[in-house]
């Protein structure tokens, strides 16, 4: 942490960070892979987290040598995802943290690689507290030319919040998101899935087991009451 540069705004990834969507992605993808006698596990998933969906799909099809195109996989996957994603729960500490920052007038934004369509489905049970975000940037936003690990999505969100990168903190769960935040010149706090190798999070400002463990006052943000 740089003491002379307090954090003034906060950006949040969604999948696996604010909402527990990853279990749905895993189940659906394994169901598709199993039809071809393949196994989708963390050795594959770890390299897909946080990336644009077409990039992740191409990686999956290549890594598992699936006899379908990335586009065909995505079409089938997204049809199967809709029902499960509409039921996803919030991750521990997510809603309370968002409410706290908004109440304390800290500018906050969503920065998710998800498409607008899927993001709307994911937040459908959580629309009230997701409405507290000042800015939402999705992966299909026209200003996001390159997906994570490029910094485009975070720089776009910060610009729309009117904040400087060095005063911005990113919360992420994926190595690609960490890389995007670092490249953007921001501080990045990561909350990895327990299955992820923490050695992949070199350069993170802080590594947490849960959002519930975050201490905002360490970064000149308002403390929890």
| Residue 4 confidence (pLDDT) | 63
| Residue 52 confidence (pLDDT) | 82
Q: What pLDDT digit, counting tens, does each position of 192-203 carry?
A: 999 899 999 999
Q: What pLDDT digit, counting tens, does each position of 38-95 carry?
A: 999 988 998 898 788 899 999 999 999 999 999 999 999 989 988 889 999 999 999 9
Cα(22)–Cα(144) distance, integer angstroms: 23
pLDDT band at 165 (very low <50, low <70, confident <90, very high): very high
Active site residues: 13, 15
pTM, two decimal places: 0.88
| Residue 2 confidence (pLDDT) | 40
Distances 67 to 37, 57, 72, 97, 141 between C-alpha atoms, Å: 11, 13, 10, 43, 31
Q: What pLDDT digit, counting tens, does each position of 107-132 carry?
A: 999 999 999 999 999 999 999 999 99
| Residue 152 confidence (pLDDT) | 98
Q: What pLDDT digit, counting tens, does each position of 166-197 carry?
A: 999 999 999 999 999 999 999 999 999 998 99
Q: Is the pLDDT of residue 1 over 50?
A: no
Describe the chain by its helix, strand, coil percentages, rounded to 5: 45, 10, 45
pLDDT, mean over the chain: 94
Distances 153 to 22, 58, 109 between C-alpha atoms, Å: 20, 21, 11
Domains of the chain, earliest start first: 9-20+90-219 (3.40.50.1000), 22-85 (1.10.150.240)
| Percentage, residues of the chain above pLDDT 90 | 88
Residue 214 near residue 208 (C-beta atoms within 8 A): yes
Peptide bond connecting 149 to the previous residue in cis, omega within 30 degrees of 0: yes
Q: What is the DSSP string of 114-155?
A: S-HHHHHHHTTT-HHHHTT-SEEE-TT-TT--S-TTSSHHHH
Q: Is the pLDDT of residue 135 over 90?
A: yes
């Amino acid at each position: 942490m740089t003491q002379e540069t307090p954090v003034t705004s906060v950006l949040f990834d969604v999948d696996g960070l604010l909402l527990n969507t990853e279990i749905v992605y895993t189940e659906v993808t394994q169901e598709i892979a199993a039809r071809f006698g393949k196994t989708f596990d963390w050795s594959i998933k770890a390299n897909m987290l946080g990336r644009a969906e077409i990039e992740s799909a191409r990686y999956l099809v290549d890594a598992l040598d699936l006899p379908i195109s990335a586009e065909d996989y995505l079409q089938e996957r997204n049809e199967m995802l809709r029902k499960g994603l509409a039921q996803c729960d919030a991750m521990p500490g997510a809603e309370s943290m968002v409410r706290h920052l908004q109440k304390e007038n800290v500018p906050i934004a969503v920065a998710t690689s998800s498409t607008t369509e899927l993001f709307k489905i994911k937040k459908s049970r959580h629309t009230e507290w997701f409405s507290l975000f000042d800015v939402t940037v999705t992966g299909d936003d026209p200003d996001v030319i390159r997906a994570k690990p490029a910094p485009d999505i975070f720089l776009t969100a910060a610009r729309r919040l009117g904040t400087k990168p060095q005063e911005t903190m990113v919360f992420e769960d994926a190595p690609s998101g960490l890389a995007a935040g670092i490249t953007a010149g921001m501080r990045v706090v990561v909350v990895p899935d327990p299955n992820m190798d923490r050695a992949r999070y070199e350069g993170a400002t802080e590594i947490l087991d849960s959002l519930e463990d975050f201490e905002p006052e360490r970064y000149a943000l308002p403390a929890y009451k």
